[in-house]
Amino acid sequence: MSELSERGALRIEWARDHMPVLAAIRESLKQKKTLRGLRIAMALHVEAKTGVLALSLQEAGAKVRLASCNPLSTDDSVASALSEAYGLEVYAKKWETAEEYYANLQKVLDLKPDLVIDDGADLVFLLHTKRTELLSGVRGGNEETTTGIIRLRAMERDGALRFPIVDVNDAQMKHLFDNRYGTGQSTIDGLMTATNLLIAGRTFVVAGYGWTGRGIAMRARGMGARVVVTEVDPVKAIEATMDGFEVLPMSKASRIADFIISATGGKDVLTATHFPRLKDRVVLGNAGHFDNEISKADLDRLSKTKKKVREFVDEYVFPDGKRIHLIAEGRLLNIAAGQGHPVEIMDMSFAIQAVSAGYLADHAAELKPRVYPVPANLDLKVAQLKLRSLGIGIDRLTKEQRTYLESWREGT
Ligand code: NAI
């Protein structure tokens, strides 16, 4: 095995050792032979935890091909180990160009999949636009993230969706932990790896107070930053205020920020309107799915020069001498520059992916081409397995308590 693969194999083994929930689901899928003989096309961030999911599906009898869902998020050592040591077909490399990225998605689709596992809906989008000849063979798909679900719901609304999708993102055991605590911790990890700068005492602006934004704001506060939130939703803005954060419009927040992290899933959060107001040496990063939250086109247009000043940091110098530092080309900084979500978080998210793949294998024929929630009993099963793995016991309702809670007749 090459030295690169050996490093990747160690990472995969470490992750596997810390993913007991996925292990339990893997064993059950193996025993029930649910996935045996199915072809599964996956586009997820190619790193160690994803490797464990892909290998789990393979061990359960599926034929799996894997590409990345982002040109910057591949761990080359893991990609190398997956193909060299485990015989998995992987089409991904870090810093791949946009053309290579789409070519790799195409190669994954050449498998003629029965199921797709997507993160951001690029695979599903390709299937519905450039690879329509494959659509009739696809039984269904899973979607991992908020942005993908937004795209897929739009396809459903337009009557364009041709197969059922399971909305993994909105399972409780996914977004409550992955989007919040996973992105919270790994964004700080990515930021520190990229910059090696101090967070304590600095003004840290988080754009968007959804699941990911909340996690990032919470962890930045924990690191001692003065955290400011920007929002467009009045309810979320009140929530941020009552959680103790200062809420400002970006026009004001951008003037005082030392760090700005976008996590909205929308676009043009930081543009030419804001760049002239920023402080010298401000650090900008994005945790949302696509790289369009911070306008690179505007940065290119307004700046005089651009150069790489650290592995994951580009410095844009403006005509007045001001320097703006952009992390990981405005792509998901927690995965591009950091190590992605903690293993224990992805144990839960990928357990949901695996049970949802099993669910589709068994039930896709009964489903319409719509976006479906993960069945509540499967969400609960993953929660119970996680509790067990943590060694935490909880109470059970007595029969009388259950009757009381379910009855409208009983008063106090
Ligand atoms: P969410 O829907 O819970 O939150 C998004 C928030 O952004 C909402 O409160 C919305 O009102 C706000 N928002 C929208 N446009 C805005 C703007 N222009 N300015 C300020 N606020 C704005 O979504 P969630 O789950 O937090 O996901 C956000 C993004 O992060 C998505 O693209 C999602 O796919 C991605 N994501 C990234 C992860 C990572 O590892 N980096 C993990 C999970 C999700």
Q: What is the pLDDT of residues 375-389, one digit of tens each?
A: 999 999 999 999 999
Pairing of the two strands 371-373 and 165-167: parallel
Determine the distance separating the centroid of ligand 1 and the alpha carbon of 116, expressed in angstroms.
24
pLDDT of 180 > 70? The answer is: yes
pLDDT of 131 > 90? The answer is: yes
Q: Among 72, 180, 206, 212, say which to mutate for ligand 1: greatest number of ligand atoms within 8 Å of CB.
A: 212
> 182-336 has which fold?
Rossmann fold (3.40.50)
Residues enclosing ligand 1, CB less than 6 A?
Answer: 145-147, 175, 179, 183, 207-213, 230-233, 236, 263-266, 269, 287-289, 332, 334-335
Determine the distance separating the centroid of ligand 1 and the alpha carbon of 219, expressed in angstroms.
16
Determine the distance separating the centroid of ligand 1 and the alpha carbon of 145, expressed in angstroms.
10
The pair of three-digit structure tokens given for residue 231, joined into one six-digit string:
């929002």
The stretch 16-45 carries a mean pLDDT of 98
Task: Look at ligand 1, atom 42, and give the residue with the nearest C-alpha.
Answer: 179
Query: 412 pLDDT band (50/70/90 cuts)?
Result: low
Mean residue pLDDT across the chain: 97
Query: CA 401 from chain center: how many Å?
Result: 39
Whose CA is closest to 77, among 20, 2, 155, 176? 2
Query: 227 pLDDT band (50/70/90 cuts)?
Result: very high
Query: Tell me, what's the pLDDT at 409?
Result: 76
Q: How many CB atoms lie within 10 A of CB 281?
A: 12
- Domain 3-174+341-390 and domain 182-336, same fold? Reply is yes
Locate the ligand 1 atom nearest the alpha carbon of residue 289 and give its number. Answer: 32
Rounded to 10 degrees, the C-alpha dihedral 82/83/85/87 comes to 110
Determine the distance separating the centroid of ligand 1 and the alpha carbon of 211, expressed in angstroms.
7
Q: Among 70, 146, 228, 334, say which to mutate for ligand 1: greatest number of ligand atoms within 8 Å of CB.
A: 146
Determine the distance separating the centroid of ligand 1 and the alpha carbon of 179, expressed in angstroms.
9
* Beta bridge partners of residue 34, listed in sequence order: none
pTM for the full predicted model: 0.94
Domain limits of the chain?
Answer: 3-174+341-390, 182-336
* Beta bridge partners of residue 327, listed in sequence order: 313
pLDDT of 330 > 70? The answer is: yes
CATH (one of 3.40.50.1480, 3.40.50.450, 2.60.40.10, 3.20.20.80) for 3-174+341-390: 3.40.50.1480
* Beta bridge partners of residue 372, listed in sequence order: 166
Determine the distance separating the centroid of ligand 1 and the alpha carbon of 209, expressed in angstroms.
7
Task: Look at ligand 1, atom 37, and give the residue with the nearest C-alpha.
Answer: 288
pLDDT of 408 > 90? The answer is: no
In which residue are the tokens 């490093």 written? Answer: 7
